[in-house]
Structure 1
Amino acid sequence: MITTRITFLLKDKGLPAWQANALKQLCGYFRSIFIFYNLSRGKHTLLSQPLNVLSLNNSAEQLCQIAIEGLDAELACMVFTEYLSEHAILLSTSHRQNHAAEQLFASHPAFSLPFAYRWDYTSHVGFADKRSALDYLAARIAPGQTDKLLAQFCQREDISTTALPNRVALPHVMSEVVDIPVLTVIPLSQPLDWQSVCAPVSLLICLVLPQSLNRDIVMAMTRLTRWLIDDLNAQLLLDAKREETLKGILLHVMANGNEER
């Protein structure tokens, strides 16, 4: 079955009742299932049930997603994208790249972190083993000090595995090889055995933090690690097919978490 997704920010008025009803009406034109996610609140419901949608208390600047599953999901995605581009702030959609996403990340408070960071993204076919993956991460993050960072990754893994039960691995260390936090995200097309009791991983989210941490950095990373524990949240990342979707969700979580606002 085809599944498509549209990720967007709500505007100043949030999601009013008339808009929830309009989205329900659009659902009726297609033979697909529509799920509405309020990622900011960590809740979801059927989009065809407007009262349930309204019960999520969807407010301004919250990050939402519509997942569409069905034989006509691609056509539905195009129609819903055109509608949402007029009534919300579009972050990403399955059928085309959003070239304005980086400008949105740089300017919108929903993605704003109160410290400098480095984002690094690449997709990868797959690694031969866990050690190869850690070596690759170390080389990307600290090309001049790969051996030192690799040793730190390995020492961290010796303490306890960084694999989560939901097919995500979260290798993370504090290191003198960086002076600002580095977030490296790598979706894998082939699952990788992380040498743990958990399932093979399909997504690497690597955090390398500087030795000198402030409260803002600690809070952002705590929000992210807590959010990743939830299986549904991890699945949203595993289902993301575009860099701007992954980056938008992760930045929003670090900036806001699932706080009731």
Structure 2
Amino acid sequence: MITTRITFLLKEEGLPGWQVSALKQLCRYFRSIFVFYNLSRGSHTRLNQPLNVLSLRNRTGHLCQIAIEGLDAELACMVFTEYLNEHAILLSTSHRQNHAAEQLFAAHPAFSLPFAYRWDYACHTGFADKRSALHYLADRIAPEQTDTLLTQFCQREDISTTALPNRVALPHVMSEAVDTPVLMVMPLAQPLDWQSAAPPVSFVLGLVLPQPLNRDIVMAMTRLTRWLIDDLNAQLLLDAKREETLKGILLHVMAHEHTER
């Protein structure tokens, strides 16, 4: 079955009842299933159930997503994208790249972090083993100190595996190899045995943090790690097909406490 996704921010009025009704009406033109996610609230419901959508208390600046599954999901995605492009702030859509996403990340408070960071992204076809994946991370993050960072990654794995039960691995260390936090995001085309009791990994999120850490960095990373534990949240990353979708979700999670949203 075809699945498409549209990710967007709500404007000043949030998601008023008339827009919810309009989205329900659009659903009727297609034979797909539509699920509405308020990622800021951590909640979801069927889009064709207006009262349930309104009960999510959708507000200005909330990050939302519509997932469409069905034989006409691609056509539905195009139609819904055009509608949301007029009534919301579009972050990403399955059928085309959003070249303005970086401007949005730089300017909108929904993605604003109180510290500098480095972002890196690579969709990899697969690795022979976990050490190969960690070596690739180390080389991308700190090419002049690859061996040092690889040793630190391996030492962290020796303490306890960084593979989560939801097919996500979170290799993370503090290292003198970086002077700002680095997020290395890597979806895997082929699942990788992380040498743990957890299922094979399909998504790797490498975090390398500078020393010493300040409070803002600690709070942001704590929000992220807590969020990743939830299976539904991890599935949002596994289902994301575009870099701007992943970056938007992860920055938003790190930037805002759940209770603030």
Match of 1:77 in 2: 77
Match of 1:205 in 2: 205
- The one-letter code of the counterpart of 1:222 is T
- Contact 1:105 1:111 (8 Å CA) reproduced: yes
- The one-letter code of the counterpart of 1:248 is G
Question: What whole-Å deviation, never above 9, does each CA across 1:67-111 have from its counterpart, x for those lacking one?
Answer: 000000000000000000000000000000000000000000000
Count of matched residue positions in the alignment of Structure 1 and Structure 2:
261
- The one-letter code of the counterpart of 1:46 is R
Match of 1:46 in 2: 46
Q: Aligned-pair distance for 1:212?
A: 1.3
C-alpha separation in 1, matches of 2:101 and 2:200? 31
- Contact 1:36 1:67 (8 Å CA) reproduced: yes
What's the TM-score once normalised by structure 1's chain length?
0.99
- Contact 1:164 1:229 (8 Å CA) reproduced: yes
SS in 1 for 2:148: helix
Match of 2:20 in 1: 20
Question: What whole-Å deviation, never above 9, does each CA across 1:97-129 have from its counterpart, x for those lacking one?
Answer: 000000000000000000000000011000000
- The one-letter code of the counterpart of 1:233 is N
Match of 1:96 in 2: 96
C-alpha separation in 2, matches of 1:176 and 1:29? 56
Match of 1:186 in 2: 186
Alignment partner of 1:140 is 2:123 = no
RMSD: 0.6
- Contact 1:39 1:258 (8 Å CA) reproduced: no
SS in 2 for 1:127: coil
- Unmatched 5+ stretches in structure 1: none
Q: Aligned-pair distance for 1:259?
A: 2.4
- The one-letter code of the counterpart of 1:209 is L
Q: Aligned-pair distance for 1:260?
A: 4.5
Match of 1:35 in 2: 35
C-alpha separation in 1, matches of 2:259 and 2:54? 18
Q: Aligned-pair distance for 1:257?
A: 3.8
Question: What whole-Å deviation, never above 9, does each CA across 1:126-166 have from its counterpart, x for those lacking one?
Answer: 00000000011000011001110000000000000000000
Q: Which runs of 4+ in 1 moved over 2 A?
A: 257-261
What's the TM-score once normalised by structure 2's chain length?
0.99
- The one-letter code of the counterpart of 1:182 is V
- Unmatched 5+ stretches in structure 2: none
Match of 1:174 in 2: 174
C-alpha separation in 1, matches of 2:259 and 2:128? 39
SS in 1 for 2:152: helix
- The one-letter code of the counterpart of 1:237 is L
Question: What whole-Å deviation, never above 9, does each CA across 1:209-250 have from its counterpart, x for those lacking one?
Answer: 001111100000000000000000000000000000000000
- Contact 1:181 1:209 (8 Å CA) reproduced: yes
Alignment partner of 1:157 is 2:157 = yes
C-alpha separation in 1, matches of 2:152 and 2:7? 36
Alignment partner of 1:230 is 2:225 = no
